[in-house]
């Protein structure tokens, strides 16, 4: 008697074939794997292992075309091939851009040489252009607290995002 073939592992209790006999014995015959192996004189080292054979006993529909499938797959072979072709044709996802950016050398010189009237226009423009207030303050030679006090970031007000302010 051949215990393992491409249809699965054969149960010595009932003669049917399953992907995993140990799970079947526990559920159906209410015996542990150890007791099953002892009862039938099977060495635990040479015990038949789980196969990729008959995993599902009842057919279930394919998720795309409702063709009955008797394996554990979610898609039938034709739909799986179509899905793979669709995925291969897709463009790769673009890498997300950085939320913040550094000051350029020209922006840094504009900040250091600007008068107060020009700073009133330049700082909000840089903040809107994703330059962190910390870097602007460092370029001006001030602390982060000074920047928060006189030029709060437009996206945050009192520690909360602007849509909750």
Instruction: Provide DSSP, 75-106.
Output: S-HHHHHHHHHHHHHSPPPPPPPPS--PPPHH
What's the pLDDT score for residue 110? 92
Query: Which domain covers residue 159, as residue numbers?
Result: 105-164
Alpha helices in the chain (DSSP H): 21-24, 33-39, 77-89, 105-113, 116-128, 133-140, 144-150
Same domain, 74 and 124: no
Q: Round to whole Å and give the CA distance between 71 and 56.
A: 5
> Is 147 within the bounds of a domain?
yes
Domain count for the chain, please give it: 2
> Is 144 within the bounds of a domain?
yes
Is the pLDDT at 1 greater than 70, yes or no? no
What's the pLDDT score for residue 72? 79
Nearest to residue 155, comparing CAs of 135, 133, 122?
133
> Is 55 within the bounds of a domain?
yes
Same domain, 2 and 58: yes
Confidence of residue 39 (pLDDT cuts 50, 70, 90): confident
Q: Round to whole Å and give the CA distance between 126 and 154.
A: 11
Is the four-CA dihedral 6, 9, 14, 15 of positive or negative sign?
positive
More confident residue, 94 or 117: 117
What's the pLDDT score for residue 16? 82
Q: Could you read off the pLDDT of 61-115 as tens digits, one per residue?
A: 889 998 888 777 888 889 998 888 888 877 666 666 667 888 999 999 999 999 8
Out of 31-35, 118-122, 159-163, least confident range: 159-163
More confident residue, 3 or 142: 142
Is the pLDDT at 155 greater than 80, yes or no? no
Q: Return the residue matching tokens 């995002």.
A: 161
Name beta bridge partners: 61.
68
Same domain, 14 and 62: yes
> Is 89 within the bounds of a domain?
no
Q: Could you read off the pLDDT of 42-56 as tens digits, one per residue?
A: 877 766 665 554 444
Cα torsion at 146, 148, 150, 153 (round to 10°)? 150
> Is 15 within the bounds of a domain?
yes
């Amino acid at each position: 008697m051949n215990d393992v073939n491409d249809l699965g592992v054969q149960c010595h209790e009932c003669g049917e074939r399953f992907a995993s006999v140990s799970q079947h014995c526990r559920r159906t015959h209410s015996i542990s794997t150890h007791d099953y192996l002892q009862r039938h004189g099977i060495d635990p080292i040479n015990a038949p292992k789980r196969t990729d054979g008959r995993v599902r006993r009842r057919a279930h529909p394919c998720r795309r075309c409702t063709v009955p499938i008797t394996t554990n797959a979610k898609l039938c072979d034709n739909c799986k091939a179509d899905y793979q072709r669709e995925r291969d044709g897709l463009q790769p996802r673009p890498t997300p851009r950085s939320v913040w950016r550094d000051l350029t050398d020209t922006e840094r010189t504009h900040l250091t040489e600007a008068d107060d009237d020009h700073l009133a226009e330049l700082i909000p423009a840089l903040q809107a252009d994703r330059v962190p207030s910390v870097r602007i303050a460092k370029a001006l030679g001030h602390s982060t607290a000074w920047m928060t006090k006189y030029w709060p970031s437009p996206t945050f007000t009192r520690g909360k995002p602007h849509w909750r302010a």
